[in-house]
Amino acid sequence: AEAVAGDVTGIVLPACHIFGLSALVSTWLDGNTVVMIPRFDPGLVLEQLQAHRVTIFAALPVMLNALVHHPTAASFDLSAMRVCIAGGDAVATELQRRFKATFGCDVTEACGMTEVQPYACNPLYGRGKVGSIGKAAPGATLRLVDPFDVDVAAGEPGEVLVRSGATMIGYWNDAENTAATIRNGWLGTGDLARLD
């Protein structure tokens, strides 16, 4: 997220995975505050987001779904939240609509993996696209390929390949899996997408 002085990032994701770690480190690098919520319990998370006036929240779609379905969700004041980033799975259109209606904040979809960090994200401000992982993240180049690593045409499904300065150099002591994942300088994500 584009930092603003005084931002407070709420994190309920494990910091041993890239999504939680990225949110944690980027907040520290910006010199802002991190609120580590110790476990995912919808009531506890809503209380912490309200109590600490969290401005940026990073979560999985399943977590957002539990928050909007909490029996007292509408009674919490999350008006300080200006950015909610979701990854790890697609965010259903109805969940995006309900989250915005309940808490007043849009959900921004992003996509990544530990081997390469976030590689795609919808714009945080301005025009995003519901049901899309967005555009290539800064510093990342993306390709969509068939099973033979040949680029597919726009509109056709293909595996997302990524080239980035944040790409891993390899799996520890596992040359075979490294060679299968990093192919001609491109990291194969195993994720399928379409380019519109």
Q: 88 exposed, middle or buried (CB, 10 Å; 0-12, 13-18, 19+)?
A: middle
Q: Which residue has the tokens 């809503």?
A: 46
Among the ranges given (27-31, 61-65, 83-87, 160-164), the one the predictor scored with the smallest mean pLDDT: 27-31
Q: Residues 121-176: pLDDT tens digits?
A: 877 655 667 777 888 988 999 999 999 999 999 999 999 999 999 899 999 999 99
CA-to-CA distance for 130 and 43, rounded, in angstroms?
Answer: 27
Residue 124: predicted pLDDT: 64
Q: 84 exposed, middle or buried (CB, 10 Å; 0-12, 13-18, 19+)?
A: buried
Specify the 3-state DSSP secondary structure of 118.
Answer: strand
CA-to-CA distance for 162 and 183, rounded, in angstroms?
Answer: 10
Q: Which of 126, 69, 80, 71 is nearest to 104 (CA)?
A: 80
Close Cβ partners of 97 (under 8 Å, ≥ 6 residues apart): none
Q: Residues 6-24: pLDDT tens digits?
A: 889 999 988 777 777 777 7
Residue 16 β-bridge partners: none
Pair of tokens at residue 78: 């999350």
